[in-house]
């Protein structure tokens, strides 16, 4: 059984090359320099790719579908904003360098999300399938309730309904946010790549294939799942806190389930468990979402839902799975994105 399992595992171990990550990191600044897209457009586009890659660590590699992953955007977003609001040294820090200070603060906010993930990971990750998904939704609602109960009490005259609008002196230039987001997304993609090539990554995919069998052959499933969950939470919070900064404030919408659904859809479109799929899925979903919202307001989500259903039915491995079936001049495209 062990040999058969290993053979099946090696068949499904699809990984991209480092080249695609490097190209993504290089192309985005070039687009900015050439003024092909606005800085805000590039920031949002990068965040989509980063969110997809962050969720990929827990959902793509292990197969655990997290409908409450937006909780880490909310936790990190509020952490970042409250730090710069009440502690002037942190506000001074975020203006340091060309986005270096903002990145450091975002890392601190992401670490808070990671700690929360570790604390709740042990009980929640004992659940599987729909039970895990429901539990993560409960975590999101619980965190939102705590925020709505405590944040307004910190400053009743300004934090109405847990909404915090940043003052002018707390706002960072878009160029600095762009640099911080670019580095944050790059780190998220590189982390995905390193995990996919490591023993840890092999263990995660083994869990996805058959968790009971993985445990039987010596994979510390509980430990690996908690590490993956906390890493996913960290990178989601890292990017999420910078997006909160980019929007000029934070409110309870940071905890909205739509963010989690967006992340899941990106992965489904691109391809679960693939770093290349995260890049592709984030990029395609951004343009689909933006185009449909402009051309078909009101029914854009219906059209997007139909597209996702078609992909699930006819291309369950996502666009990456479709691409991997073809070859150009006897070169299998699968070899280029593995």
Model confidence over 17-66: pLDDT tens digits? 577 788 888 888 888 888 888 999 999 999 999 999 999 999 999 999 99
Task: Inform me whether the pLDDT recorded for 12 exceeds 70.
Answer: no
Percentage of the chain lying above the pLDDT 90 cut: 59
Q: How confident is the model at residue 327 (pLDDT cuts 50, 70, 90)?
A: low
Taken in order 337, 265, 194, 41, the sign of the CA dihedral is positive
Tens of pLDDT, residues 216-226: 999 999 999 99
Per-residue pLDDT, averaged over 258-277, amounts to 89
Per-residue pLDDT, averaged over 173-181, amounts to 95
Task: Inform me whether the pLDDT recorded for 278 exceeds 60.
Answer: yes
Asked if residue 271 lies in contact with residue 320, where contact means CB atoms within 8 angstroms, the answer is yes
Task: Inform me whether the pLDDT recorded for 14 exceeds 60.
Answer: no
Per-residue pLDDT, averaged over 268-296, amounts to 86
Name residue, tokens 């409250």. Answer: 82
Q: How confident is the model at residue 112 (pLDDT cuts 50, 70, 90)?
A: very high
The model carries a pTM of: 0.89
Task: Inform me whether the pLDDT recorded for 331 exceeds 80.
Answer: no
Cα–Cα dist 7/190, whole Å: 27
| Least confident range of 10-24, 111-125, 153-167 | 10-24
Radius of gyration, alpha carbons of the chain? 20
Q: What is the model's pLDDT at position 316?
A: 76
Cα–Cα dist 29/101, whole Å: 19
Give the tokens for residue 126.
């004992």
Residue 151 vs residue 329, higher pLDDT: 151
Give the tokens for residue 119.
């604390």
Q: How confident is the model at residue 330 (pLDDT cuts 50, 70, 90)?
A: low
Helix (H, G, I), strand (E, B) or coil at 299: coil
Establish if 292 belongs to a structural domain.
no
Asked if residue 14 lies in contact with residue 320, where contact means CB atoms within 8 angstroms, the answer is yes
Mean model confidence pLDDT for the chain: 87
HSE on the CB side for 155, CA within 13 Å? 9
Q: What is the model's pLDDT at position 1?
A: 38
Task: Inform me whether the pLDDT recorded for 148 exceeds 70.
Answer: yes
Tens of pLDDT, residues 199-235: 999 999 999 999 999 999 999 999 999 999 999 999 9
Residue 19 parent element (H or E): helix 18-33
Cα–Cα dist 215/207, whole Å: 8
Establish if 223 belongs to a structural domain.
yes
Cα–Cα dist 299/4, whole Å: 47
Establish if 24 belongs to a structural domain.
yes
Q: What is the model's pLDDT at position 294?
A: 76
Establish if 138 belongs to a structural domain.
yes
Query: What is the count of structural domains for the chain?
Result: 1
Per-residue pLDDT, averaged over 152-177, amounts to 92
Establish if 34 belongs to a structural domain.
yes
Establish if 243 belongs to a structural domain.
yes
The boundaries of the domain holding residue 218 are 18-257
Q: How confident is the model at residue 97 (pLDDT cuts 50, 70, 90)?
A: confident
Q: What is the model's pLDDT at position 328?
A: 60
Cα–Cα dist 306/48, whole Å: 20
Q: What is the model's pLDDT at position 6?
A: 44
State how beta strands 327-328 and 331-332 pair: antiparallel
Per-residue pLDDT, averaged over 253-280, amounts to 90
Q: What is the model's pLDDT at position 307?
A: 81
* E strand segments, the chain: 164-165, 249-250, 327-328, 331-332
Q: What is the model's pLDDT at position 335?
A: 56
Establish if 228 belongs to a structural domain.
yes
Q: What is the model's pLDDT at position 333?
A: 56
Task: Inform me whether the pLDDT recorded for 16 exceeds 60.
Answer: no
Q: What is the model's pLDDT at position 254?
A: 94
Establish if 285 belongs to a structural domain.
no
Per-residue pLDDT, averaged over 271-283, amounts to 88
Q: What is the model's pLDDT at position 326?
A: 61
Name residue, tokens 């593995």. Answer: 338
């Amino acid at each position: 059984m062990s040999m058969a399992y290993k053979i099946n595992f090696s068949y499904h171990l699809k990984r991209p090359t480092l080249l695609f990550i490097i190209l993504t990191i290089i192309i985005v600044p070039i687009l900015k320099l050439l003024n092909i897209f606005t800085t805000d457009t590039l920031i949002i586009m990068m965040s989509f790719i980063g969110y997809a890659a962050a969720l990929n660590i827990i959902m793509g590699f292990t197969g655990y579908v997290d409908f409450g992953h937006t909780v880490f955007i909310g936790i990190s977003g509020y952490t970042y904003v409250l730090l710069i609001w009440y502690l002037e040294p942190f506000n001074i820090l975020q203006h340091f360098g060309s986005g270096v200070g903002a990145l450091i603060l975002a890392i601190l906010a992401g670490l808070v999300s990671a700690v929360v993930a570790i604390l709740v990971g042990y009980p929640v990750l004992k659940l599987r399938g729909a039970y895990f998904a429901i539990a993560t939704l409960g975590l999101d609602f619980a965190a939102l309730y705590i925020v709505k109960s405590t944040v307004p009490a910190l400053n009743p005259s300004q934090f109405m309904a847990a909404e915090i609008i940043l003052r002018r002196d707390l706002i960072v230039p878009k160029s600095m946010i762009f640099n911080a987001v670019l580095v944050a997304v790059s780190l998220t993609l590189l982390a995905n790549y390193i995990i996919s090539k490591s023993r840890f990554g092999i263990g995660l995919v083994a869990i996805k294939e058959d968790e009971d069998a993985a445990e039987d052959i010596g994979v510390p499933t509980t430990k690996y799942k908690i590490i993956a969950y906390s890493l996913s939470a960290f990178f989601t919070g890292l990017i999420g806190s910078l997006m909160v900064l980019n929007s000029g404030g934070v409110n309870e919408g940071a905890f909205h389930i739509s963010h989690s659904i967006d992340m899941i859809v990106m992965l489904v479109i691109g391809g679960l468990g693939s770093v290349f799929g995260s890049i592709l899925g984030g990029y395609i979903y951004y343009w689909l979402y933006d185009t449909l919202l402009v051309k078909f307001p009101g029914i854009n989500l219906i059209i997007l839902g139909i597209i996702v259903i078609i992909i699930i039915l006819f291309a369950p491995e996502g666009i990456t799975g479709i691409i991997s079936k073809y070859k150009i001049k006897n070169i299998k495209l699968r070899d280029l994105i593995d």
